[in-house]
Amino acid sequence: MKRSEPARRGSGQGPTDPGLLARPLDFISEDHLRERQICAEIDRLVAAETFDRPAGVTILRFLNEELGVHLRDEVEDLFPTLARRCTDEDSIASVLGRIRHDQEQALSLLPSVRGAIANCLDAGADLSSEDREVLARFAAHVRRHLVAENAILLPIARARLTRGDLRRLANHMRLRRGLPTSQGVTSAE
């Protein structure tokens, strides 16, 4: 696991490398690998009899520090830009509607998911059967949203977004992370 670079492409093992922000669609795609990795961790937590504390800490940290900013990248920037750039043939409105629905469902479960994991960490308890059900539902919604985004939205975005759109997207994503903006944004391809 020890490599010279801090975050390898495609591993989903740690937070996405900010060096990828120059190619914002690649960054979002990498965030989705990370989300998939966390969903697998949640599945393991749900299936395990005894609560896995290190996994709980990893998941809670992702929920608190990474998921919110990823969803804002999409809801505040990627989705509106796509809606502006797409033609009627892309049927983007209905796709965005379905994805937003899954995001909202996941977000509505988020406080319970956080609470369940934090309680296990604080009290040294195991997940209750209700906790397991909430975590499983949460992971299912997150997975559905990222599958639809990878299969439909990102390919359309790569085809339709202009260099100016990508530059704006990258700069807003940098600002959201407290990083300086850059003029040297390149195409996503």
List residues binding Fe ion (CB under 5 A): 149
Residue 153: CB minimum distance to Fe ion, A: 8
Residue 174: CB minimum distance to Fe ion, A: 18
> Furthest-apart CA pair in the chain: how many Å?
53
**Nearer Cβ to Fe ion (149/165):** 149
**Nearer Cβ to Fe ion (32/174):** 32
**Nearer Cβ to Fe ion (30/149):** 149
**Nearer Cβ to Fe ion (32/167):** 32
**Nearer Cβ to Fe ion (41/131):** 41
Residue 103: CB minimum distance to Fe ion, A: 8
The three-state DSSP-derived secondary structure of the chain is CCCCCCCCCCCCCCCCCHHHHHCHHHHHHHHHHHHHHHHHHHHHHHHCCCCCHHHHHHHHHHHHHHHHHHHHHHHHHHHHHHHHHCCHHHCHHHHHHHHHHHHHHHHHHHHHHHHHHHHHHHHCCCCCHHHHHHHHHHHHHHHHHHHHHHHHHHHHHHHHCCHHHHHHHHHHHHHHCCCCCCCCCCCCC
Residue 182: CB minimum distance to Fe ion, A: 23
Residue 74: CB minimum distance to Fe ion, A: 5
